Chain A
Amino acid sequence: MTYYSGKDGTLTYNGTAVAKVSSWSFSASVDTLETTVLTDSDRSYVPGLRQFSGSATIFYYEDVGSTAPAPKPLLEKIISTSAIGESGVTLRLGWSSSKYIQGSVIITSGELSCAVGEVMQATVQFQFTGPLNGVTL
């Protein structure tokens, strides 16, 4: 029996692993369309549109020479002096070398927190756009 924990979690941004991830979460939901007609006594539904979203908390740090200056690339998608671009970001949320969820996302919020006695962290929330392009549960 294999259990997974935070030690196994990974977050990959456009193919590059983001270091020092504190946590990530993923959520999937589907709208329901009501199809109840006048002769029914119980409501009935059919599935509507599906959507995926998630969030991640990443320690903010600088590592000289690092190829993954997390979480700057993610934050710059929303915290920037330039206009928001339409170029996609591919995120891959993994919990083992073979198990992951991957898709194109829009960073919908970015939050930086800095407090006495705590390591500075950034929290980003993201909305997947279109279908997932990779799932291995």
Chain B
Amino acid sequence: MSSPQGPDFPSLVPTSRSMVPGDFPSKTFSSQSGIQSTVQYGSRRSGQTLELVYDNCSEANAAAIYDHYLACKGTIYFFGVLEGAKSGNSTFHLGNTSASASNRYSAAPFGMRYKYAEPPQFTSVKPGRMSVTIKFVGVLDS
């Protein structure tokens, strides 16, 4: 049974972003002679992580992220990520939906779906300003 779909993540441009593209399921065997053999078990990679940092953002934007986390029942629901969070590096993301090299920040074109990997962290900076760190993980859903 697939997990429920939550609302899309707000289209907010982060101050920094890092992505780890995950890996294909495989197992590596090492012989006593040192020779390694790797067996690939699946054709689809998973575990892509996308970390977004919003430094000194407005409280309204921080509240929107907080509300989205609650609407997704924390780390349970899958959701889409709107273009704002993926924009800024057009070679990595052109905003289309194809599973091409120009769409690397998305999870859906590659068969994955994003969900929260962990609860977001909110740091108060000054009245009206907060910093937020978020980590998504792309997993294969049935």
The chain A residues found within 8 Å of chain B, CB to CB, are: 33-39, 46, 48-49
B57 surroundings in chain A (CB, below 8 A): 35
User: Across the interface, which residues of A come within 8 angstroms of B89, CB to CB?
Assistant: 38
Cβ–Cβ contact A34 & B87, under 8 A: no
Number of B residues contacting the other chain (C-beta, 8 Å)?
14
- Bits for B1-26, please: 1 = Cβ < 8 Å to A, else 0: 00000000000011111000000000
Task: Decide: A38 near B125, CB < 8 A? Known: A33-B56, A46-B56.
Answer: no
Cα of A38 to Cα of B14 in the assembled complex, Å: 6
Interface residues of B: mostly helix, strand, loop or mixed? Answer: strand
Interface CB pairs A-B, < 8 A, 10: A33-B55, A33-B56, A33-B125, A34-B55, A35-B15, A35-B56, A36-B15, A37-B13, A46-B129, A48-B129
Complex alpha-carbon distance, A111 and B61, angstroms:
49
| Nearest CB of chain B from residue A48's CB, rounded to whole Å | 6
Closest to B52 in A: A38
What residues on A are CB-neighbors of B55 within 8 Å?
33-35
When chains A and B are docked, how far (Å) is the Cα of A60 from the Cα of B57?
51
Assuming the contacts A33-B129, A48-B126, A49-B126, asked whether A38 and B56 have C-beta atoms less than 8 A apart, the reply is no
